[in-house]
Amino acid sequence: MERFRPLHRSKHRLRYRCECLKRRFNHEAWLNELRAIRGVKNVRLAEAAGSIVFYIDGADIREIEAHLERFDPSRYPLDALDEAMLRQRPPKSGIVRSAGALALAQAVPSDPAKLLFTLLASSPLYRDAIGELFTEGLTSRVLEATAVGVSTARKDYLAANGTNFLLEVGEYIEESSEQRSNELLAELAKSEIREAWVQKKRESGKVETVKVAVEDLKIGDIVVVSTGDTIPVDGHIVEGSATINQVAMTGESEPVLRERGDRVISGTVVVEGEIKIWAEKVGSETATARIREYILATLNEKSSVELRARRLADKLVPVTLGLAGVAWMINRDWSAVASVLQGDYSCALKLATPVAFKSSIAYAGREGILIKGPKAIEALAEADIFVFDKTGTLTYGELEVVSVSTFDEAWSEDDLLNLAASAEEHHFHPIAHAVVEEAKRRGFSHMHHEEVKFIVAHGVQTEVNGKEVLIGSRHFLEEDSGIDFSAHEKKIEACLLEGKTILYVAYDGKLLGTVGMRDRVRENASEVVARLKELGVKKTVMLTGDIEAKARRIAEEAGIDEVYADLKPTMKAQIIERLKSEGAKVAFVGDGINDAPAMSRADVSVCMSKGANIAKVSADIELLKDDIEGVAEAKELAVKTLSLIHANFGATVGINTMILLGAVLGRLSPLATAVLHNGTTVGLLGVSLGGVRLEKERKKRKEKRA
């Protein structure tokens, strides 16, 4: 290898050196390709050292090195968001300038020279302070400049330059911490794919696979994605199978198998195999594009908690100024005044809160929970009533066949099911999928049929052995096609009372039989509801348009407290409004188009991964994994994030009050106060940047279940 030099190799870890890694390119886009290599668990890039580390388990080292040899930085250009992140990186010039003044002022014997070096180094501080004084009034910057000025006037150049140096170091660390929290968010916004392979049918009838720009993709295109490629659209697989690495979008660490009929999302990577995807969402409607939009909004959004922190910090500046006066009266020493002016509350209060929010949002994104800003976290933490839609939320929203009834002795249940599956197997409706899956489970035997006609919202029509086959709703068969149902009313009524969805099958002008289906309650629904109660939720409610008996059966199975059935979409929103009028903080969890009004009325809303686009737009939180556990995970993360922020509040006020007390009593020098104050701020920023993690709680739950 010419460019990448091996530094270390072990069974589970590889390290390579390459100076080209220090160049500016889209690191994350390249790392995602490397993470898709079979056996590669994770890849970490150390830009400053110019090295890359692979964490592996059974990976072929030759395959990894082949990827490295093909590396070309120009293939991974930076986009606008990446450039914005780079431009925000704080400069180090202030640290260099203040450190130089600190050293020179101590080295030269002349007071005029010491004064000159001190004034030159602290001039940016004075300039900023004067600007803030006239535009914002008394701020922490004004206090800091006053403290340095007092020490300079007293000819205490060590204190003046030492304080200025610590201020520059603290400011650099503070800006770097906030920048890091922004970068954590930016990691979720992967580089957009620029080209895709699409099947095109020529006038001659020949089908060709051609490369097109991603912006030219259209809904309904058949997109071909092969090993190592990133999926550019959201859609369903119509042909082929592949293992897909979804870690960047859902947090699932292991690649998952996806086959015909399965849904895939943009931003995930095909590890092995080739699939053809029917494009359901393209361009700005894809999951990747929505994430980018939310990130750009999140970088500037401020929650009420953050705004309160800023207001409190500003209000405490005059308090610090007043304490400086008290210090003068007690000590009659300008050194004590300078000490007090070093120890304000502002920095930690203003910076730690947004860093904590952004770190938690970034962590949630990596876990497959897309939170659209700090306000959503705050509202979710405060929510005390959780309202659930039924279908697709508490249930899977995917029907399964639970009974097959034949009304003709010449046809067995399996024959009836094979007939229905043969006609439905090219249809992507959930009912068709359920029928085909059950037929496969029983040993599907395909029946030859003529061309199938799909009648929207009704069913399908075809011919078998020259006789007409109709499969669909009762309205389609009875009213539109004149099929007689009278002889089988009692059996049909019994199925309906059991809460089944019925598919009717007619052959040669007669009702041949029915296929009964039912939506299953999610296995972990009751566990999620119980966890929400542990996290402070007072009541859970289920809303559905289903009949009362069916709704209550599902609610009991899921552990829901209160049920509203037979609802129209507008009635859901009215119930949300009523709950809010009673003083509740309401969270709504849903997935359908008819849930959008309720989502917009709730204090905070969560949309399931398979939700309709309008529901995802309306929601404050979107789950990227089809797992209701994400609701409880999001609630727990929100509660812990607010707890962390409140703990930071208490630590900031408590520690800085002790520092100020020591300064007022003359027990702390200006330099000591600066060290303690900036050390506290940096420590709290470190805690906030670490954010909240849920791994320990997950481990405890797994051990409890085991």
- pLDDT (tens digit per residue) in 217-275: 888 899 999 887 888 888 899 989 888 877 556 545 567 788 888 888 887 888 888 99
Question: How many C-beta neighbours within 10 Å does residue 436 have?
Answer: 22
Question: How many C-beta neighbours within 10 Å does residue 259 have?
Answer: 12
What is the CATH topology of the domain spanning 370-394+531-637?
Rossmann fold (3.40.50)
Is residue 516 within 8 A of residue 501, CB to CB? The reply is yes
Nearest to 317 by CA among 457, 487, 147, 72: 147
Whether the pLDDT of residue 619 is over 50: the answer is yes
Residue 597 φ/ψ, nearest 5 degrees: -60, -40
- Residues 347-372, mean pLDDT to the nearest whole number: 79
Quick: pLDDT tens for 543-565.
Answer: 987 778 778 888 999 999 999 98
Whether the pLDDT of residue 437 is over 50: the answer is yes
Structure tokens at 465: 């052995």
The pLDDT score that the predictor gives to residue 628 is: 93
Euclidean distance between CA atoms 561 and 540, whole angstroms: 5
Query: For the chain, what's the residue count?
Result: 706
Instruction: Please identify which residue in the block is written with the tokens 């199978």.
Output: 241
The CATH number of the structural domain formed by 5-77 is 3.30.70
Whether the pLDDT of residue 139 is over 60: the answer is yes
Percentage of the chain beyond pLDDT 70 is 84
Q: Which residue has the higher pLDDT, 281 or 613?
A: 281
Name the DSSP letter for residue 567. Answer: -
What radius of gyration do the chain's Cα atoms show? 32
Euclidean distance between CA atoms 470 and 506, whole angstroms: 5
Nearest to 54 by CA among 16, 7, 1: 16
Is residue 487 within 8 A of residue 512, CB to CB? The reply is no
What is the CATH topology of the domain spanning 195-229+233-281?
2.70.150
The CATH number of the structural domain formed by 396-520 is 3.40.1110.10
15: helix, coil or strand?
strand
- Residues 353-382, mean pLDDT to the nearest whole number: 84
- Report CA-CA distances (Å) from 509 to 183, 200, 433, 583: 65, 40, 25, 59
Euclidean distance between CA atoms 290 and 285, whole angstroms: 7
Which residues on adjacent β-strands are paired with residue 504? 472, 514
Euclidean distance between CA atoms 392 and 616, whole angstroms: 14
- Residues 292-319, mean pLDDT to the nearest whole number: 65
Whether the pLDDT of residue 93 is over 90: the answer is no
Average pLDDT, the chain: 82
Structure tokens at 449: 């049929």
Burial class of 702 by CB neighbour count within 10 A (0 to 12, 13 to 18, 19+) = exposed
Q: Show the CA angle centred on residue 177, arms to residues 98 and 159, nearest 5°.
A: 25
Is beta strand 269-281 parallel, antiparallel or unpaired with respect to 604-607? Answer: unpaired
- Residues 317-331, mean pLDDT to the nearest whole number: 84
The pLDDT score that the predictor gives to residue 164 is: 79
663: helix, coil or strand?
helix
What secondary structure, in 3-state letters, does 210-241 show? EEEEHHHCCCCCEEEECCCCECCCEEEEEEEE
Q: Which residue has the higher pLDDT, 29 or 273?
A: 273
Choose the weakest-confidence range: 311-320, 641-650, 690-699: 690-699
The pLDDT score that the predictor gives to residue 470 is: 95
DSSP states of 612-629: -HHHHHH-SEEESSS-TH
Which residues on adjacent β-strands are paired with residue 197? 211, 224
Most confident of 37-41, 168-172, 319-323, 443-447: 443-447
Whether the pLDDT of residue 186 is over 60: the answer is no
Residue 496 φ/ψ, nearest 5 degrees: -65, -40
Euclidean distance between CA atoms 49 and 51, whole angstroms: 5
Strands (E), 407-553: 453-455, 459-464, 467-472, 501-507, 510-521, 539-543
Quick: pLDDT tens for 479-522.
Answer: 889 999 999 999 998 888 777 889 999 999 999 999 998 888 89
**How do the domains of the chain map onto residue ranges?**
5-77, 195-229+233-281, 370-394+531-637, 396-520
Whether the pLDDT of residue 530 is over 80: the answer is yes
Q: Show the CA angle centred on residue 649, arms to residues 647 and 651, nearest 5°.
A: 70
Q: Which residue has the higher pLDDT, 617 or 134?
A: 134
The pLDDT score that the predictor gives to residue 418 is: 95
Euclidean distance between CA atoms 616 and 605, whole angstroms: 10
Using the Cα atoms of residue 460, residue 464, residue 469 and residue 471 in order, give the sign of their dihedral.
negative
Euclidean distance between CA atoms 214 and 198, whole angstroms: 10
Which residues on adjacent β-strands are paired with residue 472? 459, 504
Choose the weakest-confidence range: 104-108, 133-137, 303-307, 544-548: 303-307
The pLDDT score that the predictor gives to residue 81 is: 47
What is the edge-to-edge ordering of all strands in the sheet holding 459-464?
A: 395-406, 510-521, 501-507, 467-472, 459-464, 453-455
pTM of the model: 0.64
Whether the pLDDT of residue 138 is over 50: the answer is yes
Is residue 369 within 8 A of residue 633, CB to CB? The reply is yes
Structure tokens at 466: 């020259």
The pLDDT score that the predictor gives to residue 192 is: 54
- According to DSSP H, which parts of 489-543 are helical? 489-497, 525-534
Euclidean distance between CA atoms 144 and 160, whole angstroms: 10
9: helix, coil or strand?
strand
Percentage of the chain beyond pLDDT 90 is 24
Question: How many C-beta neighbours within 10 Å does residue 411 have?
Answer: 17
- Residues 349-368, mean pLDDT to the nearest whole number: 79
- Residues 570-599, mean pLDDT to the nearest whole number: 87
Structure tokens at 479: 């009213």
The pLDDT score that the predictor gives to residue 482 is: 93
547: helix, coil or strand?
coil
Residue partners of 43: CB distance under 8 A and separation at least 6: 31, 34, 35, 52, 53, 54, 55
Is residue 100 within 8 A of residue 121, CB to CB? The reply is yes
Nearest to 656 by CA among 344, 351, 350: 344
Using the Cα atoms of residue 371, residue 376, residue 377 and residue 383 in order, give the sign of their dihedral.
negative
Q: Which residue has the higher pLDDT, 420 or 318?
A: 420
Quick: pLDDT tens for 83-92.
Answer: 444 445 567 7
The pLDDT score that the predictor gives to residue 1 is: 40
Instruction: Please identify which residue in the block is written with the tokens 């922004």.
Output: 182
Whether the pLDDT of residue 170 is over 70: the answer is no
Quick: pLDDT tens for 598-611.
Answer: 888 899 999 888 77
Name the DSSP letter for residue 22. Answer: G
Half-sphere exposure of 80 (CA within 13 A, CB side): 4
Is residue 389 within 8 A of residue 544, CB to CB? The reply is yes
Euclidean distance between CA atoms 534 and 309, whole angstroms: 28
Quick: pLDDT tens for 376-401.
Answer: 999 999 999 999 998 888 988 778 89
Instruction: Please identify which residue in the block is written with the tokens 């104050």.
Output: 677
The pLDDT score that the predictor gives to residue 406 is: 95
| Confidence label for 137 from pLDDT (cuts 50, 70 and 90) | confident
Residue 240 φ/ψ, nearest 5 degrees: 90, 180
Most confident of 122-136, 583-597, 621-635: 621-635
